[in-house]
């Protein structure tokens, strides 16, 4: 991504909206805040009650029928609950992992388990068909889109009234949903992290301690993206302040910076033991790539290589020599 694109993202976040064109005229998609999110629940309950009054069965009622017909059973729900719990455990383990290679392995397992979970949930939805909950979810998503669309930059006048929105053709709604999805994808956490590390943002890094003062408005009025921008600015500013030995080659790589910072915090408590002169580092279970990321400037020794060089095993004397560099 170019410098201009990062600048554009920050400007967009500062504005609090994404500008786009609709029917040849400028329109504005408001970046939602925590206060806005409460409307999602309101809409959901509203449309769920409408569906129930229309005679659309609830998910609970449908699942009871499916279980009676042996099309779905409690063990299927147990598999879903088990996968959800396992994914949470894997994510916790990934956060606690010290080595980048370990984090990668956990991430691979998370992706695999998430795919399994999505398949099961998709099968459940297909079998259940239309429910009051699915109807409410679909209508809520559409209603929320209407709620965050405006005609003006001040975000005072909605782009559509309820009646106008209800009369839109499907292709119009699909276009608006795509605008919303693209905006969220563009303002993802990875891009925001890269933004705060760019040279043009340096002057702002130290100014985000007081978020309200930084944006000139109460926190409850800030968008989720504005809060994330300030949060990551503070995170990286603190890392820069307390890690003077941060390698220059990673100062614009958010993932590498966070790994470096984490290794500094947990290195003494983990399996890492450094010699007094910091000329060598031994990390049990580390790959060569791990060692380079842990300390790019240090002379590193792979335990795997040492074992191989000594005929497949190490005695205590050899271990001590290895640890002492």
pLDDT, tens only, 303-319: 556 656 666 555 656 65
Average pLDDT over the chain reads 84
**Other CB atoms closer than 10 Å to residue 259's CB: what's the count?**
19
CA dist., res. 57 & res. 71, Å (int): 17
State mean pLDDT over 251-257.
89
Rounded to the nearest 10 degrees, the angle between the axes of helix 189-196 and helix 3-15 is: 110
- The β-bridge relationship of strands 272-274 and 149-150 is unpaired
Rounded (10°) CA dihedral 214, 215, 220, 221? 180
CA angle 43, 48, 54 (to 5 degrees): 130
- Over residues 111-168, the pLDDT tens digits come to 999 999 999 989 988 888 889 998 898 888 888 899 999 999 999 999 999 899 989 9
Residue 74: is its pLDDT beyond 90? no
User: Which is more confidently placed, 273 or 116?
Assistant: 116
Q: Are 67 and 74 in contact (CB under 8 A)?
A: yes
State mean pLDDT over 157-180.
92
Residue 268: is its pLDDT beyond 50? no
Q: Are 150 and 158 in contact (CB under 8 A)?
A: yes
pLDDT-derived band at 276 (thresholds 50, 70, 90) equals: very low
User: Which is more confidently placed, 171 or 287?
Assistant: 171
pLDDT-derived band at 264 (thresholds 50, 70, 90) equals: confident
- Over residues 79-113, the pLDDT tens digits come to 999 999 999 999 888 877 767 778 888 889 999 99
Residue 212: is its pLDDT beyond 70? yes
pLDDT at residue 300, as a whole number: 54
Half-sphere exposure in the Cβ direction for 218 (13 Å, CA): 4
User: Which is more confidently placed, 261 or 276?
Assistant: 261
Residue 269: is its pLDDT beyond 50? no
State mean pLDDT over 31-47.
84
Strand residue runs (E) in 79-232:
149-150
Q: What is the pTM of this model?
A: 0.69
pLDDT at residue 304, as a whole number: 58
Residue 68: is its pLDDT beyond 80? yes
Half-sphere exposure in the Cβ direction for 318 (13 Å, CA): 12
pLDDT at residue 100, as a whole number: 72
Mean pLDDT lowest among 227-231, 276-280, 296-300: 276-280
CA dist., res. 11 & res. 133, Å (int): 38
pLDDT at residue 319, as a whole number: 56
pLDDT at residue 56, as a whole number: 92
- Over residues 9-22, the pLDDT tens digits come to 999 999 999 999 99
User: Which is more confidently placed, 35 or 190?
Assistant: 190
Residue 186: is its pLDDT beyond 70? yes
- Tokens representing 91? 């994510």
């Amino acid at each position: 991504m170019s410098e201009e694109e990062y600048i554009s993202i920050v400007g967009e976040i500062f504005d609090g909206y994404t500008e786009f064109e609709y029917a040849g005229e400028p329109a504005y998609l408001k970046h939602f805040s925590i206060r806005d999110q409460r409307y999602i629940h309101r809409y959901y309950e509203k449309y769920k009650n409408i569906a129930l009054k229309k005679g659309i069965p609830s998910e609970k009622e449908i699942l009871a029928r499916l279980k009676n017909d042996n099309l779905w059973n409690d063990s299927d729900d147990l598999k879903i609950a088990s996968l959800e719990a396992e994914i949470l455990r894997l994510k916790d383990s990934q956060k606690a992992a010290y080595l980048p290679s370990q984090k990668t392995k956990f991430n691979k397992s998370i992706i695999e388990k998430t795919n399994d979970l999505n398949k099961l949930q998709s099968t459940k939805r297909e079998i259940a068909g239309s429910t009051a909950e699915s109807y409410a979810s679909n209508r809520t998503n559409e209603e929320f889109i209407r709620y965050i669309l405006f005609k003006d930059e001040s975000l005072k006048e909605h782009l559509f009234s309820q009646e106008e929105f209800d009369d839109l053709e499907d292709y119009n709604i699909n276009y608006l949903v795509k605008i919303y999805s693209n905006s969220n994808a563009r303002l993802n956490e990875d891009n925001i992290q890269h933004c705060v590390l760019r040279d043009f943002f340096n002057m702002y890094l130290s100014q985000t301690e007081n978020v309200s003062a930084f944006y000139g408005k109460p926190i409850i009025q800030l968008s989720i993206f504005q809060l994330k921008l300030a949060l990551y600015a503070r995170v990286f500013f603190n890392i820069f302040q307390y890690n003077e030995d941060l390698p220059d080659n990673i100062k614009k790589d958010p993932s590498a910076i966070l790994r470096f910072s984490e290794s500094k915090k947990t290195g003494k408590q983990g399996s890492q033991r450094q010699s007094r002169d910091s000329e060598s580092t031994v990390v049990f279970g580390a790959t060569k790539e791990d060692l380079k990321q842990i300390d790019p400037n240090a002379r590193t020794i792979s335990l795997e290589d040492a074992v191989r060089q000594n005929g497949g095993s190490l005695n205590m004397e050899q271990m001590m020599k290895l640890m002492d560099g």
